[in-house]
Structure 1
């Protein structure tokens, strides 16, 4: 089937948006549309310009016989600012405070427009790190992990507190909760990670960082590299944290009486350069 140029541009854009971080050769598009590679190159230049103007990402060209183009999703700093402002407004209600210094966020992380945008923002910060898998702890971090993994086109690895017979043999470690100081357990199926792969750890909430540190130790057991650590909301008062080199979207401050809260931008926006 021979495509008109306008049809090629629409389909090409759709294809790239749905295959992020995947190398697509010019031959693939040439065969798909029945067009010469020179025409495909011109089309890609138009798509590249459109992506950059809209702030949705950029096309990276890979040279060589096996080369092509790769779509890298990103978020503009202006869009990130609007997202964080909206989230702060949504989460700053005093009735969201839960016993123990936690924050009710289930409704926000249950809305696709929020969770997908958060995933794209996190993916923007780690776009150049190289990510082979996204890891999270069950259960509230799972939607966020899938949103980030979608942007990288990689699998999600869910760490659980108890093993399941349907997952086969597992690796189990004990870790100390940073906030409660209790010893807890986390497990991961042996088939979940390939040694040498790069893992981005993502979670919804962090107090002292005990769970995050446990996942880092679990990655070490699998001989994988932790390429980044991102959390949606961290508590500001819990210091020192048990981990370093992490990024947070938002920071939560609570009064001593736990009757009022304050939400502010975390470290991700401060390091946002796009």
Structure 2
């Protein structure tokens, strides 16, 4: 069988681990792949682990036991988090993004793979120790961000619908009050989408008053499940009364000033 150089092995191990975040990979798989001894693979993994640690790009955890192995846990330095948030603020401050009602146009941001990837890593690294079963979001703009967080945490994404869909089968529907408008709204989730007794986090694009988050909490209770964390890309800190207090965001939006400029700053809780 073909033999591989150390550089080849390290490159392959790094790629495999980064493409499968939070998934346990058996060392036996690597020994068979490279046709080499487990001790050699272990030395290669030490190099990968040391490199990731030095650049603060996450870590490699070792899991002992018969079904053990190694897994990549995502991470990003505080400096990189801040740098990303500052760059995002600059993009969002463009006056052309301001739309009637003092809202910001964000659709292109939410569907930009490069931006959403880093945002996903930031939020996933915040919640990674929660050991959740699902990432939950509400259709539609928050889906790309929630998907990236779910991918980095190695769990399933669950999308809550605004309206019932016959393709979802039997669903559970609740009413909730929008925190920003005070209107009664509905959300529904297929009974097949979520296992009872699950641990979840809620990820969305924009936080106003938190009515949707409260709705998610109540919906999860119907599934006998628990919400362990809430994360947003942007938090509208100008909203006077928040319905939820314990959440994380990357950027704070403080409204539009008298000169028509959007006021955005890196969040203090990232």
TM-score relative to the length of structure 2 = 0.95
Q: In 2, distance between residues paired with 1:244 and 1:110?
A: 27
**In structure 2, C-alpha distance between the alignment counterparts of 1:150 and 1:237, rounded to whole Å:** 31
Equivalent runs, 1:40-189 vs 2, <5 Å: 40-189=41-190
Matched residue count: 269
1:258–1:202 distance in 2 versus 1, CA, 3 Å: farther
**SS of the residue aligned with 1:20?**
coil
Report if the CA contact (8 A) 2:102-2:256 is conserved: no
C-alpha separation between the residues in 2 aligned to 1:89 and 1:255? 14
Measure the CA separation in 2 of the matches of 1:85 and 1:256: 19
Question: Could you say which residue in structure 1 is the equivalent of 2:249?
Answer: 248
Residue 208 of structure 1 corresponds to which residue in structure 2? 209
Q: Is the contact made by 1:97 and 1:258 (CA closer than 8 Å) also made in structure 2?
A: no
Q: Shift of residue 255 of structure 1?
A: 4.2
Q: Aligned partners of 2:39 and 2:93: how far apart in 1?
A: 53
Identify if the C-alpha distance between structure 1 residues 254 and 111 changes in structure 2 by more than 3 Å, giving closer, same or farther. Answer: same
Deviates more, 1:10-19 or 1:98-107: 98-107
1:169-196 deviation line (CA, Å, top 9, x unaligned) = 1010000000110000000111111112
Whether the aligned pair in 2 keeps the contact of 1:247 and 1:267 (CA below 8 Å) is: no
Q: Which runs of 5+ in 2 are unaligned?
A: none
Residues 105-158 of structure 1: per-residue CA shift (max 9 Å, x gap): 112222111010100011111121112211111111011111111111222111
CA RMSD of aligned residues (A): 1.6
Larger deviation, residues 165-174 vs 52-61: 52-61
Aligned to 1:21: 22
Indicate conservation of the 8 Å contact 1:59/1:70, yes or no: yes
Aligned 8 A contact 2:257 2:263 in 1: no
Conserved in 2, the CA contact under 8 Å of 1:92 and 1:262? yes
Partner Cα distance (1:158, 1:120) in 2: 19
Per-residue Cα deviation, 1:173-220 (whole angstroms, up to 9, x for no partner)? 000000110000000111111112221100001111101111111111
Query: 2:234 maps to which residue?
Result: 233
The answer to whether the 8 Å contact 1:101/1:258 transfers is no
Output the TM-score relative to the length of structure 1: 0.93
